[in-house]
Amino acid sequence: MERVGLYVKDIKSYNMNLEEYVNYYIEGIKRQIRKPSTFILNELAPSHIAGSNAHKLIYRVNYSGLNDTKTLEFLISKGSKVYVISYNTEPSKYESDLSKLQNMVDSFEIAQ
């Protein structure tokens, strides 16, 4: 099961910069996961996408041994909005579509 998504979040009312919001976002993911599921943050790194500051997150979630997912997300800041590009799949399939996803991310533009 592979999924690619894009959504936009207006963070003006949060009164946070991108780095603060990324930490808040990660804590939100952790809160949504019910025990004994596990969350493992594999990578968190600053990036630059579509002429804007961004952060790259790679993490795995094991839902109580029932299924395991690996997720790559880019959180891109533009004005008061954060654009989230998300790719989620089984860990064994993660590498197979990564180049397609990177092409999509490289072509991403934010209209004014």
Is residue 53 in some structural domain? yes
35 lies in a domain? yes
Residue 81 is assigned to a structural domain of this protein: yes
Residue 108 lies in a domain: no
pLDDT for 78 equals 93
Determine the Cα–Cα distance for residues 27 and 31; give it in Å rounded to an integer: 6
pLDDT in the model for residue 34: 75
Which structural domain range is residue 14 located in? 3-103
pTM of this structure? 0.89
- For residues 13-40, average pLDDT: 89
Is 97 within the bounds of a domain?
A: yes
The pLDDT, as a whole number, for residue 62 is: 86
Residue 1 pLDDT > 60: no
Tell me: the pLDDT tens digits for 56-100? 999 999 877 678 899 999 999 999 999 999 999 998 899 988 888
Q: Residue 26 domain-assigned?
A: yes
Asked whether residue 66 is assigned to any structural domain, the reply reads yes
Say if 62 falls within a structural domain: yes
Rounded alpha-carbon distances, angstroms, from residue 16 to 2, 21, 50, 57, 111? 31, 6, 21, 18, 22
Distance, in Å, from the CA atom of 75 to the CA atom of 82, rounded to the nearest integer, reads 6
Give the mean model confidence (pLDDT) for residues 31-60.
90
CATH number where 10 lies: 3.40.1000.10
The domain tally of the chain equals 1
Is residue 48 over pLDDT 60? yes
